[in-house]
Amino acid sequence: MSDPVSSGDWSLRVALTSVCDDALRVLPEGPARDGVLQVRSTLAEPLRVAVSGSVSSGKSTLVNALLGQRIAAVDQGECTQLVTWFCYDHY
Ligand SMILES: Nc1nc2c(ncn2[C@@H]2O[C@H](COP(=O)(O)OP(=O)(O)OP(=O)(O)O)[C@@H](O)[C@H]2O)c(=O)[nH]1
Ligand SMILES: [Mg+2]
């Protein structure tokens, strides 16, 4: 399976990974290096976006707009009553 970080599909990820790799070449063992390693491993994971807000503030509308799909139910009154995870993959 190809590594999404190095596949070139996400230029920001690629750029940030490159910055991490540059830092890892010069950082000695220690908390700073550990922090960079942690950030780099996070870059290889799917992007997660949390949307929170008061009832009927437009959270589901925003999720649908971000994904370009009507995946979250929208209503004028209270609608989404549970914390909901939506997964999206463009690969
Ligand atoms: N005027 C206006 N209405 C909006 C906007 N965004 C959402 N709405 C409307 O606000 C209402 C509630 O939108 P939802 O997206 O269901 O809100 P929500 O925060 O997910 O609601 P809950 O899941 O019930 O907490 C719907 O009637 C939407 O059409 C906006 O930017 N402007
Ligand atoms: Mg909702």
Placement of tokens 């690629």 in the chain:
14
Higher per-residue pLDDT: 12 or 28: 28
Rounded Cα gap, residues 78 and 61, in angstroms = 13
Inter-residue contact 40 to 4 (CB < 8 Å): no
| pLDDT score, position 79 | 87
Best residue among 55, 61, 69, 71 to mutate for probing ligand 1's pocket (most ligand atoms within 8 Å of CB) is 61
| pLDDT score, position 90 | 64
Rounded Cα gap, residues 6 and 17, in angstroms = 9
64 Cβ below 6 A of ligand 1: no
pTM equals: 0.71
Best residue among 54, 60, 76 to mutate for probing ligand 1's pocket (most ligand atoms within 8 Å of CB) is 60
pLDDT in tens, 32-83: 999 999 999 998 888 788 999 999 999 999 999 988 899 999 999 988 888 9
| pLDDT score, position 45 | 84
Q: pLDDT class for 11, splitting at 50, 70, 90?
A: confident
